[in-house]
Chains A and B, each alone.
Chain A
Amino acid sequence: MIGPDRRRRHLAVVPPETDVPETDVPETDVSLPEASLQAVPETAGLVPDTPDQDATDPTGPTQDAAILTSGVGIRYGRRWALQGCSLNIPRGSVVAVVGRNGAGKSTLLQLLAGLLRPDAGSVTVLGQPTWPPRSGWLTQVGFVAQDKALYPGLRVVDLLRFGRRNNPGWDQEFAQRRLRERGVPLGARIGKLSGGLRTQVALALALAKRPEVLLLDEPLADLDPLARREVMSSLMVDLMERNTTVLFSSHSLTDLARVCDWLVLIDGGQVRLADSIDALVARHRLLIGPVESATRIADRVAVVSAHRGDRQAILLVDGHDPAVELDPHWTVRQPAVEDLVFGYLQQVP
C-alpha cells in the first residue's frame, strides 16, 4: 500500500533541484566522452516485452484502484493519439506522466477527466466509467488543462463564485486563502493575470473542489523554478492528508521525480512503463563496462537501451543477472528515475 510515508520519504531523499542532463550519463564519475555517446538501436530480440503488462492487468485486484484502464485508445482522425493503454493505479498514488511533446499525455489526462470518449477499450476512475461523465462522478475528479484556459473576462472572485456554484464540495475558504498566500489579486480580471498567476487560479479552482482524483496537465509549465517547488510541496502537504490520487504530466521530469511514487511513461501514444517507481528501480539495472564486451553482455540480458562510447558502454537492462553482475569489468548500479525515463524514451520499439 502506497501511503503518505512513502511520499514523505521521496520528499526527503531527493537532492536539490538540478536540470536533467541531455544524455543519460548516470553519474559524473563515469568518464565517457559525451560527444561520442549515441543511442544504439537494439535488435528486436533483445527488447523486452512491454514490461507493464502484469502490473496493469485489468483482471487483477481492483479494489484499491483509483484508475483502471484496459486497452484504451483515442483516435484523432486516422491517427491514434493513444493506443492499447492499460493502467492499474492504486488510490493515493502520486503519478508522474512523462513523455515527449505530443506523446499522448494530454490525451490520457483528458480521457481520465471524462472529456474524451474512448474509441477503444474501457476506462474507470474511482470504480466508475468516465464516459459519459455523470455529475456525481465529476464531483470527485479535479482537472487542470494544459492551457489553463479560464474565462478571461471574469475577475478572480467571479471565478471562485463559479467554482462554488458548480461544485457541491467546494471549499471557498481554502481557495481564497490559497490564492491570497500566493499574491493573486482576487479583484483582478483573469485576462490581466500573468501566466504564473493564472496557473495558480486554475490550480486553486481544481483543488477547492476537494477531488479524490486530481489530474494536472503540465501544471508547472508557466511557473518559475521557485514557484514550481512551492506548488509541488504545497500540493503534497495538502493532498497527503486526504490520500488523493494525483497525476501530473510533464515533459521535464525534474519537478516530478521528487514527489512522485508512480511513473507512467508514454511514447508515441503507447504506454511504455507504468508501475511504482520503487518497483521499477528495483527491477532495472544500469550496467557500465568496456564497450568491447558490451555485445556479449547484451546477449544475456534484456537491454532497454544502450549508449556506446569509444571505450565504455552503458546499458539499461530490465531484470538482473547475477553472472553479469559478478563480471569484474562491469559496474552495476540501480538506475535513477531519470535513467529509466531517458532509457525508455531512447529505446527503439
Chain B
Amino acid sequence: MTTGVVLTTLRMHRMQIVVTAVLMSALVIVAALHGSATASFIAEQRAGNCAATGCVDLPQQVADRYRLLGEALPFLGLVPVAIGVFWGAPLLGREFEAGTSRLAWTQSVSRRRWILTRLIVLGGLVAVGGVVMGVVVAQWLSVFEGFELTGVTDASFIILRGVEPVGWWLFGFLVGVAAGALLRRTVRAMAVTAGVGVGAIIARNLLLVAQESATPSTGWYQDHLLAIVVLGAAVVVLSVLTTRVVERARP
C-alpha cells in the first residue's frame, strides 16, 4: 500500500520529474565540460608552457571565459521559483480545480497519508535537485578561485552554491503547494508562487548587500546559516499548514 501511494505520486508528477531531470543533467554536462576545459587551460598556462602559444594575460583570459557564466548564473536563482510554479502549485490546485480530489480522497488512503506521501516523495526529489545544483555551481566556480571575479570571491552567488539551494528549492516547492491548497486554482497559485518566490529572493539579495556594506567579506557562513534556518522554518510551517488544509478541505 505504501509503495502504491509512492508509485502513484511518481506517476502523477512524471512530467515535472522528467523535465527537471533533463534540465539538471544539461546543467551538469555544461558545467563539467566548461569547468574542466577552463581548469586545464589555467593549469597549462600556470605550468609555463606559454612559450609555444605565446604568453597571455592569464587573469584577463580567465575573466573572458568567466563573463558569460557570470552573467548566466544569477538566472539559476530563479529555478526554485520555477519548481514552486510547476511542481508545487499544481499539486493541489489541479486536484481541486478538476474535481479529482473527490477521486483521490475516496481511495483507501487517508488524506493525511495522501498529502504527506506527496510532500515527502516530491520534496525529497526537489531536495536532491537543490543539492545537485549547489554542488555543481560550487564546483564550477571553484575552477575560477584565485581570480578577482564577481561571485567567485564575494557573496553574490551565495544562494546558488553549497547547502543554501536546497533550502530555496524546498521553500519554492512548499510555497507552491500551500498556495494551491489555499487558492484551489492552479494558475492563481502559480502567480502567487512566482510573486512570493521572486520577492523572497530579492529580499535575500537586499539583505546580502546590506551585510556586505556593513562588514565586507565576513559573516559569510553565519549568513548562510541564518538563511537555512529561516527557509527551513518556512518549509516546516508551510508543510504543516498544507497538511491541515488538506485534512479539513472540502473536495
- Interface residues, chain A, CB within 8 Å of chain B? 110, 113-117, 132-135, 138-139, 141-143, 145, 147, 149-152, 154, 158, 161-169, 205-206, 209
Secondary structure of the B side of the interface? helix
A residues in contact with B199, CB < 8 Å: none
With CB as the reference atom, state the residue of chain B lying closest to A149: B99
Interface-located stretch among B7-15, B48-56, B125-133: B7-15
B residues in contact with A132, CB < 8 Å: 110-111, 247
B residues in contact with A149, CB < 8 Å: 98-100, 102-103
Query: Are B99 and A166 in contact, with the CB atoms below 8 A?
Result: no
> Can you list 8 A-B pairs with a CB-CB distance of less than 8 A?
A114-B105, A115-B106, A132-B111, A141-B106, A147-B99, A149-B103, A163-B107, A166-B107
Query: Are A135 and B103 in contact, with the CB atoms below 8 A?
Result: no
Let me know if B21 is at the binding interface, CB within 8 A. Answer: no
A residues in contact with B250, CB < 8 Å: 115-116
- Given A132-B247, A134-B110: A115 in contact with B5 (beta carbons within 8 A): no
Query: Are B105 and A115 in contact, with the CB atoms below 8 A?
Result: yes
Let me know if B4 is at the binding interface, CB within 8 A. Answer: yes
With CB as the reference atom, state the residue of chain B lying closest to A166: B107
Q: Give the distance to chain B from A180, nearest Cβ to Cβ, in Å.
A: 22
Q: Give the distance to chain B from A139, nearest Cβ to Cβ, in Å.
A: 4
Q: Give the distance to chain A from B249, nearest Cβ to Cβ, in Å.
A: 9
Query: Are B105 and A133 in contact, with the CB atoms below 8 A?
Result: yes
Query: Are B102 and A151 in contact, with the CB atoms below 8 A?
Result: no
Give the residue of A134, A138, A162 whose beta carbon is less than 8 angstroms from that of B106. A138
Query: Are B11 and A150 in contact, with the CB atoms below 8 A?
Result: no
Give the residue of A114, A135, A139 whose beta carbon is less than 8 angstroms from that of B113. A135
A residues in contact with B109, CB < 8 Å: 135, 138, 166
Q: A115-B106, A116-B250, A149-B102 are in contact. List 11 more A-B contacts (CB 8 A).
A: A132-B111, A134-B110, A135-B108, A139-B108, A143-B106, A150-B100, A150-B103, A165-B4, A165-B7, A166-B1, A209-B107
With CB as the reference atom, state the residue of chain A lying closest to B107: A166
With CB as the reference atom, state the residue of chain B lying closest to A140: B108
| Binary per-residue interface labels of chain B (112-143) against chain A in the complex, 1 for a CB within 8 Å, 0 otherwise | 01000000000000000000000000000000
Query: Are A117 and B98 in contact, with the CB atoms below 8 A?
Result: no
Q: How far is the CA of A151 from the CA of B101 in the complex (A)?
A: 10
Query: Are B100 and A165 in contact, with the CB atoms below 8 A?
Result: no
Query: Are B247 and A115 in contact, with the CB atoms below 8 A?
Result: no
With CB as the reference atom, state the residue of chain B lying closest to A143: B106
| Binary per-residue interface labels of chain B (223-251) against chain A in the complex, 1 for a CB within 8 Å, 0 otherwise | 00000000000000000000000011011
A residues in contact with B5, CB < 8 Å: 165-166
Query: Are B110 and A138 in contact, with the CB atoms below 8 A?
Result: yes
Q: How far is the CA of A91 from the CA of B2 in the complex (A)?
A: 31
A residues in contact with B247, CB < 8 Å: 132
Q: Give the distance to chain A from B56, nearest Cβ to Cβ, in Å.
A: 55
Most chain A beta carbons < 10 A, residue from B1, B108, B109, B250: B108
A residues in contact with B99, CB < 8 Å: 145, 147, 149
A residues in contact with B100, CB < 8 Å: 149-151
Q: How far is the CA of A168 from the CA of B250 in the complex (A)?
A: 25
| Binary per-residue interface labels of chain B (40-66) against chain A in the complex, 1 for a CB within 8 Å, 0 otherwise | 000000000000000000000000000
Query: Are A167 and B248 in contact, with the CB atoms below 8 A?
Result: no
Query: Are B105 and A168 in contact, with the CB atoms below 8 A?
Result: no
Q: Give the distance to chain A from B196, nearest Cβ to Cβ, in Å.
A: 27
Query: Are A162 and B248 in contact, with the CB atoms below 8 A?
Result: no
- Given A135-B113, A138-B109, A168-B1: A152 in contact with B98 (beta carbons within 8 A): yes
B residues in contact with A113, CB < 8 Å: 102, 106
Most chain A beta carbons < 10 A, residue from B8, B98, B103, B250: B103
With CB as the reference atom, state the residue of chain B lying closest to A153: B15
Most chain B beta carbons < 10 A, residue from A132, A141, A151: A151
With CB as the reference atom, state the residue of chain A lying closest to B8: A165
4 tightest A-B CB contacts, nearest first: A165-B4, A149-B99, A166-B107, A139-B108
Q: Give the distance to chain A from B18, nearest Cβ to Cβ, in Å.
A: 13
Q: How far is the CA of A168 from the CA of B109 in the complex (A)?
A: 10
Q: How far is the CA of A139 from the CA of B108 in the complex (A)?
A: 5
With CB as the reference atom, state the residue of chain A lying closest to B248: A117
Q: How far is the CA of A132 from the CA of B246 in the complex (A)?
A: 11
B residues in contact with A169, CB < 8 Å: 108
With CB as the reference atom, state the residue of chain B lying closest to A161: B11
With CB as the reference atom, state the residue of chain A lying closest to B15: A153
Q: How far is the CA of A139 from the CA of B4 in the complex (A)?
A: 14
Q: Give the distance to chain B from A103, nearest Cβ to Cβ, in Å.
A: 18
A residues in contact with B248, CB < 8 Å: 117
A residues in contact with B7, CB < 8 Å: 165
